[in-house]
């Protein structure tokens, strides 16, 4: 309109611009919208990187701290009445499975009664175990959930745990890297229960038979001590479940100190 | 929007850059430690159990 007219406001502003202070360009509506959109895009990308890498690292290290604090609290000699008297094995029986191990009662929902350590997953891998497998308050908080009414650690039958494979600290992210014979150690107030990994299986999410006292064996009474881990498979997906089975090896009372099974594994590829 | 932010910050350019870096760090902390963990439960719900 008045671009060529010397007396226009535009011209006046140009003259002003040559002065000490630069002109204030009024933010255009579209410019602000563009900046908002760019910001939203950057935040979305940040979320993706958080989801894929950073978040699990942050939550995982927080959970590791929490788990080692809980673990240490059990190591301190305390006059806790529940520190069970560990029954001595009868001298004639030396097989580990013959040793009578203390087994806790089922715990109230949400109670952190154990700490899981799997040396194969590295020194930073340690998570608390809570009773129950609800998504929001247990699995979603980066804890390993103990299926209600499955055996407690060391108990006859099958002790079963679930955890996320990504997000929430992703406790079971490396579950498919387990090597046969790997130690899966559960520490409770009483001591350490060492299980040895046997095999992986992929099942549908309806396959509740993995929770049976003898996993996948309908109608068979408990005949040994099993441990089962469940998580989602394929990773980043909820179509199926990955199942890891282990069998009980030994129990080490707290008084005896950490068992050798907690040492880093020497066989198999570590990553 | 960001131009306005730059204008209202005090001091010479390097001070403003420092303030902006601190602001960015604070925003990242809020997002990574609080906002994203909260949002994740709606964006990527996960099932890890059998028998739902």
Q: What is the pLDDT of residues A2-52, one digit of tens each?
A: 444 444 455 444 444 444 556 666 668 888 899 999 999 999 999 988 888
Residues of chain A neighbouring B39 (CB-CB closer than 8 A): 47
Place of tokens 């029986």: A93
Highest mean pLDDT among A92-101, A233-242, B20-29: B20-29
CA-based torsion, A250, A252, A258, A259: positive or negative: negative
Give the residue extent of every domain in chain A: 50-262
Average pLDDT for chain A: 80
Select the more confidently predicted residue: A267 or A251.
A251
Select the more confidently predicted residue: B19 or B50.
B19
Residue A80 has pLDDT above 80, yes or no: no
Select the more confidently predicted residue: A27 or A159.
A159
Place of tokens 């038979």: A209
Which ipTM was obtained for this model? Answer: 0.85
Residue range A116-120: average pLDDT? 91
Residue B29 has pLDDT above 90, yes or no: yes
Query: What is d(CA A24, CA B7) in angstroms, rounded to the nearest whole number?
Result: 10
Tell if the CB–CB gap between A58 and B33 is shorter than 8 Å: yes
Interface residues from chain B to A (CB-CB < 8 Å): 1-4, 7, 28, 31-33, 36-37, 39-41, 43-52
Highest mean pLDDT among A12-16, A244-248, A264-268: A244-248
How many A×B Cβ pairs under 8 Å?
89
pLDDT at A19: 46
Select the more confidently predicted residue: A143 or A77.
A143
Interface test with A, best of B50, B51, B52 (most A CBs within 10 A): B50
Is the distance from CB of A150 to CB of A161 less than 8 angstroms? no
pLDDT at A71: 86
Helix (H, G, I), strand (E, B) or coil at A193: strand
Fold of A50-262: Sortase; Chain: A; (2.40.260)
Query: What is d(CA A25, CA B4) in angstroms, rounded to the nearest whole number?
Result: 10
- What burial letters (b/e) apply to B27-48, b meaning 16+ CB within 10 Å? eeeebbeebbbeebeeeeebbb
Tell if the CB–CB gap between A162 and B48 is shorter than 8 Å: yes
Residue B50 has its nearest CB partner, among A25, A36, A205, at A205
Q: What tokens appear for A150 in the block?
A: 């499955």
For A45, list phi and psi in degrees, rounded to 5: -65, -40
3-state helix, strand, coil in chain A (%, to 5): 30, 25, 45
Minimum distance, in Å, between the CA of residue B24 and any CA atom of chain A: 12
List pLDDT tens digits, range A119-154.
998 888 899 999 988 888 888 888 899 998 888 998
pLDDT at A229: 92
Looking at the DSSP bridge assignments, the partners of residue A117 are A126, A185
Give the residue extent of every domain in chain B: 2-34
Helix (H, G, I), strand (E, B) or coil at A89: coil
Residue range B2-28: average pLDDT? 90
Minimum distance, in Å, between the CA of residue B13 and any CA atom of chain A: 15
For the CA atoms of A137, A143, A147, A149, the dihedral, rounded to the nearest 10 degrees, stands at -80
Is the distance from CB of B2 to CB of B20 less than 8 angstroms? no
pLDDT at A17: 45
Residue B28 has pLDDT above 50, yes or no: yes
List pLDDT tens digits, range A96-106.
445 578 888 88
Query: What is d(CA A196, CA A247) in angstroms, rounded to the nearest whole number?
Result: 5
Select the more confidently predicted residue: A88 or A74.
A74
Minimum distance, in Å, between the CA of residue B48 and any CA atom of chain A: 4
Per-residue confidence band for A198, with pLDDT thresholds at 50, 70 and 90: very high
- What burial letters (b/e) apply to A165-198, b meaning 16+ CB within 10 Å? bbbbbbbbbebeebeeebbbbbbbbbbbbbbbbe
Tell if the CB–CB gap between A135 and B44 is shorter than 8 Å: no
Cis preceding-peptide flag for A234 (omega within 30 of 0): yes
Query: What is d(CA A250, CA A26) in angstroms, rounded to the nearest whole number?
Result: 74
For the CA atoms of A55, A58, A61, A67, the dihedral, rounded to the nearest 10 degrees, stands at -70
Average pLDDT for chain B: 85
Residue A1 has pLDDT above 50, yes or no: no
CA of A49: which chain B residue's CA is closest? B32
Is the distance from CB of A146 to CB of A175 less than 8 angstroms? no
């Amino acid at each position: 309109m008045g671009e060529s007219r010397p007396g226009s406001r535009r011209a006046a502003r140009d003259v002003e611009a040559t002065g000490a202070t630069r002109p204030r360009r009024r933010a255009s509506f579209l410019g602000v919208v563009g900046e908002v959109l760019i910001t939203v895009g950057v935040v979305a990308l940040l979320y993706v990187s958080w989801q894929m890498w950073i978040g699990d690292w942050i939550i995982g290290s927080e959970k590791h701290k929490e788990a080692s604090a809980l673990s240490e609290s059990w190591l301190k000699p305390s006059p806790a009445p529940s520190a069970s008297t560990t029954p001595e094995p009868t001298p004639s029986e030396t097989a580990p499975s013959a040793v009578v191990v203390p087994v806790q009662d089922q715990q109230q929902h949400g109670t952190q009664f154990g700490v899981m350590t799997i040396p194969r997953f590295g020194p930073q891998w340690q998570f608390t175990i809570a009773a129950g497998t609800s998504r929001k308050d247990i699995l979603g908080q980066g804890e390993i959930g103990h299926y209600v009414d499955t055996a407690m650690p060391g108990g006859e039958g099958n002790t079963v745990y679930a955890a996320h494979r990504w997000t929430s600290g992703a406790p079971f992210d490396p579950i498919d890297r387990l090597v046969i014979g790997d130690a899966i150690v559960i520490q409770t107030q009483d001591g350490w229960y060492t299980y040895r990994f046997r095999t992986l299986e992929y099942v549908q999410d309806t396959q509740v038979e993995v929770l049976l006292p003898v996993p996948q064996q309908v109608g068979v009474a408990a005949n040994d001590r099993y441990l089962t881990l469940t998580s989602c498979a394929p990773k980043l997906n909820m179509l199926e479940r990955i199942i890891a089975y282990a069998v009980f090896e030994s129990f080490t009372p707290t008084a005896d100190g950490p068992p050798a099974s907690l040492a880093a594994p020497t066989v198999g590829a570590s990553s | 929007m960001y131009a306005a932010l730059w204008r209202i910050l005090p001091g010479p350019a390097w001070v403003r850059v420092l303030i902006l870096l601190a602001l960015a760090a604070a925003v990242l902390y809020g997002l990574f430690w609080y906002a994203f963990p909260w949002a994740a439960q709606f964006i990527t719900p996960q099932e890890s159990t059998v028998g739902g």
